[in-house]
Structure 1
Amino acid sequence: MDFAAVVENTGKAIDLAGVAVIVIGALAATVTYVSRILRRSPAPDLYREYRLRLGKAILLGLEFLVAGDIIRTVAVSPTFQSVGVLAVIVAVRTFLSFSLGVELEGRLPWQRARPDHRPAGPPV
């Protein structure tokens, strides 16, 4: 097996891991959410906790997907066109990650957390 094939397969494996993280994280968050609803457990922030868990799974999965794209594009065929396409993909995914992070935390990354502000997640 040559270098290009190894790198391509490694990139695909990392992409698969990213998709698996998103799917498994979404399923786990949904199962937890539904089971708590069915048990009628009193949780005023149940939906917020569900969104936080789902958002974290998506963010982690996006990181894997970006890594897979970088490995395949830069290591196998670093042409100007492929690097340009990679830049657009990374920009879109970075914007999605940034937007999800702001949505989950309720603040911009460079802002300090207010002492009276609770993030969108479960109480710690």
Structure 2
Amino acid sequence: MDYIHPFANWSAGILGALGIALILFMAIYSLFAACRHLIRHDADTAEVFNEVRQRLGRGILLGLEFLIAADIMLTVAVELSFETVGMLVVIVLIRSYLSFTLEVELTGRWPWEKKREAE
């Protein structure tokens, strides 16, 4: 059982670093793609702005999912107590709320509206 704690710490650290790296990479990629698009094409700045928001928003959503997974892994496998579970609940609620609002911002619809249109 002692070998699980270092592995869980290590795995959670990798997932957390991956989430941060994804957000950073998408931010840099979004800005680079916008600059390239503005230089090479005679594009409308509003279109480029929307593309940057879409790319960056998707990167943040994906990064948040990895950060949530890292927090869950760290709490459940390493420090399981009522205090850490309470902190995990608060963190997951905040990050889930951020993910939900970003999804609404990116798509312009509530998530359940997609299902209605598909039917």
Count, aligned residues: 115
Mapped to 2, the partners of 1:41 and 1:21 lie a distance apart of: 29
Give ranges in structure 1 of 5+ residues lacking alignment.
116-124
Q: 1:61-98: CA deviations, max 9, x gaps?
A: 00000000000001112101000000000000000000
Mapped to 1, the partners of 2:43 and 2:95 lie a distance apart of: 36
In the TM superposition, what is the alpha-carbon distance from 1:114 to its structure 2 partner? 9.3
**Structure with the largest fraction of helix:** 2
Task: Map 1:25-104 onto structure 2 (within 5 A).
Answer: 25-43=26-44, 45-104=47-106
- Aligned letter for 1:105? T
Mapped to 1, the partners of 2:87 and 2:48 lie a distance apart of: 39
Structure 1 residue ranges, 4+ long, deviating more than 3 angstroms after superposition: 112-115
SS in 2 for 1:41: coil
Provide TM-score, normalisation by structure 1.
0.86
Identity %: 39
Mapped to 2, the partners of 1:77 and 1:114 lie a distance apart of: 42
SS in 2 for 1:54: helix
Give ranges in structure 2 of 5+ residues lacking alignment.
none
Instruction: Compute the RMSD of aligned alpha carbons.
Output: 1.9
In the TM superposition, what is the alpha-carbon distance from 1:50 to its structure 2 partner? 1.0
Mapped to 2, the partners of 1:94 and 1:112 lie a distance apart of: 19
